[in-house]
Amino acid sequence: MTQAEDAELQRLEVNIQRLVGIVAEQNEKIAQLKELLLQRDEALRAMQEELQSVRRHEATVALASALTAPRAEDGRRQEARKLLDGIISQLDRCISQLATEPETIHESEPEIK
């Protein structure tokens, strides 16, 4: 091997080592960014849940004020009553479904004698 080829080989080895180092640094940065993204996703989910809770609370307060206000507008009061009636009918359906479920479960089980 000539001196020029030897120098070229050494230069290539140094460049390969640098590239390996750069790849390792980039992999570390990617891992850090993934962890940061997971943390932010968790924080975002928590904030979305809190926002939903606040919105439900605001809707409940608006419903209650519309139903109890002495001079509530008829339109607001009717909307509030419709919303409340819808909630009540959904609850009734859930209760009736729950009341019939145990019977369905027992009917499908084989009878032990």
Residues 98, 91: Cα–Cα separation, whole Å:
10
Tens digit of pLDDT for each residue in 13-52? 999 999 999 999 999 999 999 999 999 999 999 999 999 9
> Which range of residues forms the domain containing residue 80?
73-108
Q: Which residues contact 67 (CB under 8 A, 6 or more apart)?
A: 77, 80, 81, 84
Identify whether 113 is part of a domain.
no
- Same domain membership, residue 55 and residue 88: no
- Range in 19-23, 72-76, 87-91, 95-99 with the lowest mean pLDDT: 72-76
- Same domain membership, residue 88 and residue 33: no
Tell me the whole-structure pTM to 2 decimals: 0.49
66 touches 77 (CB < 8 A): yes
- Same domain membership, residue 97 and residue 57: no
- Same domain membership, residue 88 and residue 40: no
72 touches 66 (CB < 8 A): yes
